[in-house]
Amino acid sequence: MPHDLVCRKCGKSTPYDGVAGGAPCQHCGYKIPHIYVLFGMLPFLLYFGTLLAIEIIFRPPIPDELKILGGMAGLVLLWYIYARWSQRGT
């Protein structure tokens, strides 16, 4: 599923084939124009780590259904914010 993403160096749109880091940039030849795709995993790991820590440490007295729902809502929000951030300046 080829998809265009913004190059990290020159800011122009270049194809991203889904491989980590992607192919070199078409415009400036930068080798890893989409390195933030890798860094993009970090907030999600942190997010789940935080949820797990809260669950273990505080044991909030709310139903599991609400926890799952709240977790998913937070994840979608985080995803949206990240998508906006990663495509900024276009």
Applying CB under 5 A, among 23, 30, 43, 67 the residue interacting with Zn ion is 30
Q: Candidates 5-13, 38-46, 50-58, 65-73 — which segment interacts with Zn ion by CB under 5 A?
A: 5-13
Please tell me whether residue 5 binds Zn ion under the rule CB under 5 A.
no
Strand partners, 15: 4
Please tell me whether residue 28 binds Zn ion under the rule CB under 5 A.
yes
Q: How far is the CB of 41 from Zn ion (least distance, A)?
A: 22
Distance CA(25)–CA(84), nearest Å, equals 21
Strand, coil or helix: what is 71?
Answer: helix
Dihedral Cα 6, 12, 34, 47, nearest 10 deg:
-30
Please tell me whether residue 7 binds Zn ion under the rule CB under 5 A.
yes
